[in-house]
Structure 1
Amino acid sequence: MTERTAAVLSEVFAPWLINIAFFLVLGGATGAWPAAGAAAVGTGVVPMVLIITLMRAGKIGDHHVTAREQRGGVLIGITLCVLVLLGVLMMLSTPLLIWAGVWAALIFLLVFGVVTVAGKIKASVHVGLWVCVTAYLGLAVAPWWFLALALTPLIARARVVIQHHSWTEILAGAASGAVVTAIVYWLLL
């Protein structure tokens, strides 16, 4: 894989885009478009605006937040976005699949926060979120979504090629994403 291809894949499978697509799929599955749209904006668009704002303020180096020591503030900011989103969803007719998806986002942030701070490892959010979202869709929407997990090695390789992660960080991300899905499925679905 060339570095250019890896960079393109890294952008296509960026967490903010994965979140938007995830909630749009849930909107299609449930027909609850207002709740799905709010969740897509609250977990995808607003966090990316926060990241761009922090970049412009010189608080973080790049939109993939590649420096582990810069992740704490970003994770806290995105967690606040998701908490506000939970309040918005209370005002809408929100089905369980979308509620569980947003709670998965919150649990994901908490797990990755612990891995980053306590584990002192920069687990791949790209890989972790891909594993989490595709497994969630496979369990809750249709089993054929599990086929999308076949793209995980491609995303992982791209992140290594552009030197944003080591293989240890990739594995930590994949494991963390799987743990989040298991927790959410066990508790909420």
Structure 2
Amino acid sequence: MTGPWRTVARVLTEVFQPPAVVLVLLLISPAIEPGFPGTMWFGLLGALFVCVLPLSYVLVMVKLGRITDHHVSDRRQRPALLLMALVSVVAGLVVLQVLDGPVSVSVMIIALIGGIAVLAVVSAFWKMSGHASALAAAVVIVVLMFGPVWLPLLLLVPAVGWSRLVLRAHTLGQVIVGSLFGGVVIAGLWWLLREWML
């Protein structure tokens, strides 16, 4: 596909890339506890370790020619990167604990650790869509947090999945499995942790 539709696909892919989606999730994660929005800065701190530092590393590696592109299209490059991201996420969790941050932010980070760990293992063999996983998880979590009025956000999941297909970044199977993994496994883990820890 070429022309305007390909441009739309590129915009969707860039706007809803995993670091941006996770950043928003972390910013709103304290909303289920008292003190919000004053506690948003804890979400921002978590985002530093979960999103900003790993993405900065990716961009540096792209600049040095060690990684093909910032979406890490070559699945062989993903396991090492995801391992580094996992280390950064764990460090962020430790910092939040030291600062006595909201439990809700830690719950979100732990759920993301679970997701990143599984993606790291799967990526060694198969290129599950990280875009689809992150967005599906985010949309389901937002609906669980704020209610069914946010259900229309679910339309973003097939839209972004379509963009990954148009750009030939994934197969249909990789997009579907990524969406199910994010929406069921990561969001489900977040819900279970919330019930247990809060």
Structure 1 unmatched ranges of 5 or more: none
Is structure 2 residue 185 aligned with structure 1 residue 179?
yes
Shift, 1:185, TM fit: 1.6
Greater Cα offset, 39-48 or 124-133: 39-48
Q: Following the alignment from structure 2 to structure 1, what is the Cα–Cα distance between the partners of residues 31 and 192?
A: 23
TM-score of the two chains, using structure 1 as the length reference: 0.91
Distance 1:144 1:97, change over 3 A: farther
Which protein has the larger Cα radius of gyration, Structure 1 or Structure 2? Answer: 2
What secondary structure does 2:90 align onto?
Answer: helix
TM-score of the two chains, using structure 2 as the length reference: 0.87
Structure 2 partner of 1:94:
101
Greater Cα offset, 35-44 or 159-168: 35-44
The letter of the residue matching 2:105 is I
What secondary structure does 1:53 align onto?
Answer: helix
Shift, 1:122, TM fit: 0.5
Is structure 2 residue 47 aligned with structure 1 residue 40?
yes
Shift, 1:27, TM fit: 4.5
Q: Following the alignment from structure 1 to structure 2, what is the Cα–Cα distance between the partners of residues 92 and 124?
A: 34
1:112 to 106, 109, 119: 119
Is structure 2 residue 133 aligned with structure 1 residue 133?
no
Q: What does 1:11-50 align with in structure 2 at a 5 Å threshold?
A: 11-27=14-30, 30-31=36-37, 32-50=39-57
2:170 to 165, 173, 179: 165
Greater Cα offset, 154-163 or 50-59: 50-59
Structure 2 unmatched ranges of 5 or more: none
Shift, 1:75, TM fit: 0.3
| Contact 1:97–1:140 under 8 Å retained in 2 | no
| Contact 1:134–1:148 under 8 Å retained in 2 | yes
What is the aligned length? Answer: 187
RMSD of the alignment, in Å? 1.7
| Contact 1:35–1:92 under 8 Å retained in 2 | no
| Contact 2:23–2:51 under 8 Å retained in 1 | yes
Greater Cα offset, 177-186 or 8-17: 177-186
